[in-house]
Structure 1
Amino acid sequence: MTGLRGRGITFEEYDFPGLRTVNGVAEGEGMRAAWFKDSEGNILCVSQRVGA
């Protein structure tokens, strides 16, 4: 994420029941995810499995 931020990407922040981001990252149920908008305004997601 540091590399993407260095290129001007701004990660979305969310605070919904069951989904909250901290510094652009949501964690839960063995996954990490972050969302950002592309140049056309589409919301894109990057995710990673964590743990086992």
Structure 2
Amino acid sequence: MKWRDEAERLNVADIYTIQKLFTVHVHQERFCSVHLADMLAHNHFLTMLHRLSKTV
């Protein structure tokens, strides 16, 4: 599943899904050195943080 391409799914994600996404993105950086920069450039982390603030 590509969360970046399906942002509406992120809007209904629970706290555990958000946690898993952060973990996956940090681990992905080990294999692709620009992954985190790409996620920041596309505001994916910002979207995840906004959703996280609504779940807590």
Normalised by the length of structure 1, the TM-score is 0.28
**Which has the bigger relative contact order, CA under 8 A and spacing at least 6?**
2
Higher share of residues assigned helix: 2
| TM-score, structure 2 normalization | 0.27
Greater gyration radius: 1
Question: Could you say which structure has the higher strand fraction?
Answer: 1
